[in-house]
Amino acid sequence: MELTPDDTILFSIAGFGLNATIVFTWIVMALLTGASILITRNLRPDVPPDRWRTTLETIVLTIQGQINEISARPDRRLLYFSGTLFLFIIVSNLLAIVPGWHAPTASLSTTAGLALAVLVAVPLFGIGSRGLGGYLRSYIEPNIVMLPFNIIGEASRGVSLAIRLYGNVMSGAVIAAILLSVAPFFFPVVMDMLGMLTGVIQAYIFAILATVYISSATATPEPQSGPAEQTAKEQT
């Protein structure tokens, strides 16, 4: 039994083996992009939206609403990043009910790649929002002693993201595979449903955590008021 789709080589192009993770990732990408192109190809403001466009609008606006609730500075770039994370993960996980489907998110390489992307995005968004000096200063706040802890905390975020998603998705897939081999029909269905639920929750958690990390990097800390200022405020 294969624990990761990285081990399944589906194609080989010019001596380079394309494993299931990459191929199924491309399938998810093709599905998402194709559906988007199909639904948004004839967008006109004077034409009332059909149910597919309404569904897409609802999904996008829900994601944007969640981001706006989390982030102090809502940004479209954050929507592109976190929204894509969510859509990619959820579609990958939900397609697990299709027989023969290998969820790319069941690969630690995928989750590590996504975690690395988040890990790189956090400082990039932080620098873009607060400037390089402002962002770097956040590592020595409240004082310089916290620098190593902040660095460790930043790194552990990426690791925890990668491990959490991989573990949940992979474990669901493994348990479903084991039950399919030992039980005839009923338990795998239940476990598949549980796996779908877990996949949705994990997609949400991964995207939300990524948004939270990026938002915390872009948020400008409020200046702490000293005793003199507090006294002045009390007097006023």
Least CB distance to other proteins at residue 153 (A): 22
Residue 203 has which token pair?
Answer: 């997609």
Reference 24, options 89, 118, 112; nearest CA is 89
Residue 88 interacts with other proteins (CB under 8 A)? yes
Contact between 19 and other proteins per CB under 8 A: yes
Is residue 60 a contact residue for other proteins (CB under 8 A)? yes
Q: Which of 107, 138, 168, 215 binds other proteins (CB under 8 A)?
A: 107
- Identified binder of other proteins from the candidate list 11, 26, 52, 149, rule CB under 8 A: 26
- Give the phi and the psi of residue 16 in degrees, each rounded to 5: -105, 120
Integer Cα distance of 122 and 120 in angstroms: 6
**Out of 9, 33, 197, 231, which residue is the one contacting other proteins (CB under 8 A)?**
33
Report if residue 6 touches other proteins, rule: CB under 8 A. Answer: yes
CA–CA separation, 197 and 199 (whole Å): 5
Using the minimum distance from each CB to other proteins, give the nearer residue, 64 or 216: 64
The reply to whether 57 sits near other proteins by the rule CB under 8 A is yes
Tell me the closest approach of the beta carbon of residue 102 to other proteins, in angstroms: 13
- Using CB under 8 A, pick the residue from 9, 11, 40, 151 that binds other proteins: 40
User: C-beta of 151: minimal distance to other proteins in Å?
Assistant: 21
Site membership for other proteins, residue 138 (CB under 8 A): no
Whether the CB-CB separation of 70 and 129 falls below 8 Å is answered with no
Asked if 202 and 95 touch (Cβ cutoff 8 Å), the reply is: no
In sequence order, which residues have a C-beta less than 8 Å from that of residue 105 and are 6 or more positions away? Answer: 89, 92, 93, 111, 165, 166, 169, 199, 202
